[in-house]
C-alpha cells in the first residue's frame, strides 16, 4: 500500500517513540536479567520491540511491496541467500521492485551490480531492479531506500540476526516496513558484532551519527579522557 513519505516532524516523532520504547524495554530487562551486559540488553530489547514486524518468507503479505536487499560480502553465502529469497518473492508476486543497496564505490567490488547479475540469472527482469551504490551501512541503506520507495511499504530481506536492527532503524525513520527473516546459524563472533552494531544504530537514531562515524574511523572511544573499546 502506498502512503505519503513521512514528514520531518513525523520522522522526529518516530525516532523519539522508538527510542522511548527501546529505553523502557532495556530498563525492564535490566531489572529482570541482572548480570547481563549493555550489548545484550540493547540487542534483546530491539529484538522484542520489532517482533511484530518480522515475518518468514512464507508469511510475506501480498500487496506488491518494494523490497530492500541490503548488501554484504559478495564472497560469502549470505548475499546469495538474500538474493535468492528476493527472486522467489518477486516471482510469487509479493514484491514489485527490488532495491539493491550496498557498497558500489569500486568497479572491482560492487555489491549492487553483483546482486543484479545474480537476480538476472534467476529470471528477474532488469526494469524492476534499482541499484543503490551508496548503501555503505545498514543506516544508509534504510535511509536511502525510504526515499526510493517513496511511500510504498518496504520489505527488508535479510538474515534473522540482522532483521531487528534494520527494522528498528526503519521504524525510527518513520517508514512503513516489515523484515523478511531468513534462517541462519550465526557464529558467536557474528552475534557479538551485531550486539555492538545495534548499540551504534541506537546512537545513530539518537542524533549521534557523526560521532559514531568518527569512532568507527578512529577505532576507539574517548570519554572523559578515558579510552574505551570501539564499536
Lowest mean pLDDT among 14-23, 29-38, 102-111, 158-167: 29-38
Average pLDDT, the chain: 87
Closest listed residue to residue 85, CA positions, set 179, 169, 164: 179
Residue 126 falls inside a structural domain: yes
The answer for 225, left when phi > 0, alpha when psi is -120 to 50, beta otherwise, is: left
Residue 125 falls inside a structural domain: yes
How many domains would you assign to the chain? 1
Residue 4 falls inside a structural domain: yes
Beta-strand runs (E) in 23-164: 54-55, 65-70, 95-101, 129-132, 154-159
CATH of the domain at 36: 3.40.50.620
Closest listed residue to residue 186, CA positions, set 219, 167, 216, 158: 158
pLDDT in tens, 177-230: 999 999 999 999 999 999 989 989 998 988 888 888 888 777 766 654 545 455
Domain that holds residue 97: 1-187
Residue 198 falls inside a structural domain: no
Contact 53, 167 (CB under 8 A): yes
Residue 62 falls inside a structural domain: yes
Residue 195 falls inside a structural domain: no
Model pTM score: 0.85
For residue 143, give the H/E element and its range.
helix 138-149
Residue 218 falls inside a structural domain: no
Amino acid at each position: 500500500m502506498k502512503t505519503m513519505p513521512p514528514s520531518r516532524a513525523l520522522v522526529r516523532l518516530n525516532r523519539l517513540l522508538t527510542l522511548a520504547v527501546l529505553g523502557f524495554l532495556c530498563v525492564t530487562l535490566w531489572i529482570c536479567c541482572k548480570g547481563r551486559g549493555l550489548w545484550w540488553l540493547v540487542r534483546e530489547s530491539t529484538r522484542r520491540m520489532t517482533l511484530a514486524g518480522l515475518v518468514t518468507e512464507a508469511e510475506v503479505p501480498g500487496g506488491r511491496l518494494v523490497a530492500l536487499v541490503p548488501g554484504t560480502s559478495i564472497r560469502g553465502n549470505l548475499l546469495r541467500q538474500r538474493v535468492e529469497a528476493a527472486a522467489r518473492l518477486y516471482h510469487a508476486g509479493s514484491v514489485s521492485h527490488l532495491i539493491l543497496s550496498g557498497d558500489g564505490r569500486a568497479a572491482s567490488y560492487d555489491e549492487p551490480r553483483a546482486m543484479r547479475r545474480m537476480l538476472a540469472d534467476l529470471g528477474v527482469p532488469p526494469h524492476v531492479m534499482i541499484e543503490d551504490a551508496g548503501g555503505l551501512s545498514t543506516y544508509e541503506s534504510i535511509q536511502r531506500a525510504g526515499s526510493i520507495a517513496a511511500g510504498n511499504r518496504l520489505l527488508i530481506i535479510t538474515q534473522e540476526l540482522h532483521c531487528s536492527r534494520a527494522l528498528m532503524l526503519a521504524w525510527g525513520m518513520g517508514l512503513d516496513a516489515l523484515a523478511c527473516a531468513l534462517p541462519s546459524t550465526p557464529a558467536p563472533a557474528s552475534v557479538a558484532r551485531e550486539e555492538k552494531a545495534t548499540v551504534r544504530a541506537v546512537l545513530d537514531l539518537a542524533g549521534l551519527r557523526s560521532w559514531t562515524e568518527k569512532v568507527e574511523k578512529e577505532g576507539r572511544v574517548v570519554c572523559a579522557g578515558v579510552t574505551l573499546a570501539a564499536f
